[in-house]
Amino acid sequence: MKSSFLNSSHNSVVRKILELPRWFKTIIIMTSDYLMLVLSFWLSLSLRNNQIYIPTLETQFLILIGPFLALPVFYFFGLYQSIIRYSNERSLFIIVIASSIYTILWFCIVLLSGAVSQPYDFLFINWLITIFFVNGTRTLAKWILRQSSGKNVHALIYGAGSAGIQLLSAMKHSPEINIKGFLDDDHSMHGRYIETKKVFDPKKIDQLIRKEKITEVLIAIPSAKRNTTRKIFNSLKKYPLIIRTLPSLNDMAQGRISISDLKKIKIEDLLKRPVREPNQKLLSMNIKSKNVLVTGAGGSIGSELCRQIVRLEPKLLVAFELSEYALYMIERELLSMNLGTKIIPVLCDAKDQARLEKVLNTYEIDTVYHAAAYKHVPMVERNTISGIETNIFGTFSCIKASVNSGVKNFVFISTDKAVRPTNIMGATKRFAELILQSFPHNHSDELKQKITKISIVRFGNVLGSSGSVIPLFRKQIEEGGPVTVTDPKIIRYFMTIHEAAQLVIQAGAMASDNDIFVLDMGEPVGVFELAKDMIRLSGMSLKDSENPNGEVEIIFTGLRPGEKLYEELLIDDDVQPTEHKKIMIAKDNGISWDILSDHILNLEKSLEYDDQHKIREIFLATVTGFKPEKEISDNLYLSKDSK
């Protein structure tokens, strides 16, 4: 308690000194230098005579007046313009030069005055003591100020290589962070020192956190692969630490590293698998020098598809979008990329088959990527009719328009929620898959050879997409919490939006017979663990029973309507490989077109009469594993009967 009070008082005094006007602080430094020079002169004479020197009136005058010679010399060399807190080796060099000039001037005065006979040894002694006192007072002041400048963040640098050493140099004068040492996996480095900082074994991190009060780890291995960074993070995330990582080597090419260059580790690094590398041949196959159309071009997946497509040099790209604002934003972004591709923005609903067909014919479209959909589970659960109209009949209109217009490739973006769904959104996406699986069988054998090739791409949650959990958690953490998780046991497959778009493009290039493509998603991620990791990465502590004084709390809200604890990618466990080792074909059985077409007609009638019970019956009859948690009629929408 006493120590805390003294530290607080000390910090308060130092803060007041730092807040003083610059001119006032300069006077304090000059006064200090004057007193040190007087002391140096007297001490030099005492050492030369090997006894305490008692000055005469003449020498007393010299001792008190002479040091005034040093002040203009020191001023000329900039010693009163520099900031003591950030002084370095160069400051010592300047002090040596300035003190040498001052000592020579002093020597001339003393020699001429005759106060000291043959003062050659005095000259050398005074020169050494002057440097010692002038530099010593500045070193002491720097140490005191830095101890009290809010440097309460104690950090370790992970990586004792060249990047780590550069980072240490950049951090030396940081008022925020105090580097306590290095961590490195190289056993030969353990116990060694780099610029007075010891290199520790990462296995000792627990001891260091307790002993040195470590709160941050700065990963300085910019050349490390994502797998290496992820392993380091996974080894550290169980501790109450903020983890930051250096930019790439390209960002460091000029050798300029500052604290602002340290960025918090990306949430993508939490994927429990490496990011999938694309097959460049597959990426270009259906796009390069071709005419391409993307529905839902302003959405999360649709907009990323557009970005990737224009980089693959299509002849033209039609951005087909219902939202005026979303279309405006993606058009502006694509044009700003200045890649030479002709961009055609079309403001229209994907359900408008006639208009879509006209666009497909006008621009002679070769490949269609159908990304337009309503995907937010609770929202579709409460707006059943709109979900069915867009996700099912919007897809039906798109495939009919594509076939009628002679489009060569049609790629449909589905979801893992289509597998044994417990919600309306998943059921609508699976029903749309069934249409695409069966639709070609409605044509003669001769026409089947010419018909549009259809592929269905099914993947998990996309990190950072609209409505996904990542931006929600970020916003809640920024607001100080609480972070809302539906259930502590809920798990999800995640992929980056970049991966998702590349998967869609590559799968479309491999289409042969209305195939459903799935990605090897690796290990599922626990959403509760993801929330805890994001809190730590945001520089805050988790508030729970073990740490009641934490900053951000996680609360459980219960599963939402239609939500389940885990998602699947396969209805049947039967898959076959493709030429891309991380993309597989799911052999999920469809429904014959004769049977499905009757269900489509019944579904249209159900929408016309808003017959929710009939809609439920149709889904139960067609969608394998559909298990709604409650009657569709219980959903929170306004039916015609309730108006």
Terminal CA-to-CA distance of the chain, rounded, Å? 68
b/e 556-581 (16+ beta carbons within 10 angstroms → b): eeeeebbbbeebbbbbeeebeebebe
- Under DSSP, is residue 366 helix (H, G, I), strand (E, B) or coil? coil
Tokens of residue 286, six digits: 């259906």
Tokens of residue 317, six digits: 């790209």
Give the whole-angstrom CA distance, residue 559 versus residue 456: 28
Residues with Cβ < 8 Å from 556, sequence gap 6 or more?
Answer: 484, 485, 486, 487, 488
Query: Beta strand pairing status for 409-413 and 494-496?
Result: unpaired
Question: Which residue blocks in 481-592 are alpha helix, DSSP H?
Answer: 497-510, 527-537
* Contact between residue 182 and residue 164 where contact means Cβ atoms under 8 Å apart: yes
417 is catalytic: yes
State the CB neighbour count (10 A cutoff) for residue 292: 27
Which residue is catalytic, options 417, 429, 453, 582? 417
Query: Beta strand pairing status for 316-321 and 193-194?
Result: unpaired
**Helix or strand (DSSP H, E) at 294:** strand 291-295
Give the whole-angstrom CA distance, residue 125 versus residue 44: 6
Peptide linkage before 482 cis (omega within 30 of 0)? yes
Query: Beta strand pairing status for 583-586 and 342-347?
Result: unpaired
Give the whole-angstrom CA distance, residue 437 versus residue 458: 14
Give the whole-angstrom CA distance, residue 384 versus residue 636: 10
**Residue type at position 41:** F
Residues with Cβ < 8 Å from 250, sequence gap 6 or more?
Answer: none
State the CB neighbour count (10 A cutoff) for residue 338: 8
Which residue bears the tokens 């995330």? 237
Give the whole-angstrom CA distance, residue 369 versus residue 503: 12
Torsions phi, psi of 285, nearest 5? Answer: -55, -50
Question: Which residue blocks in 527-567 are alpha helix, DSSP H?
Answer: 527-537
| DSSP string across 15-47 | HHHHTS-HHHHHHHHHHHHHHHHHHHHHHHHHH
b/e 474-493 (16+ beta carbons within 10 angstroms → b): bebbeeebbbebbbeebbbb
Torsions phi, psi of 538, nearest 5? Answer: -85, 0
Length in residues, the chain = 643
Give the whole-angstrom CA distance, residue 536 versus residue 349: 42
Give the whole-angstrom CA distance, residue 197 versus residue 338: 49
Give the whole-angstrom CA distance, residue 99 versus residue 93: 10
Which active-site residues does the annotation give?
417
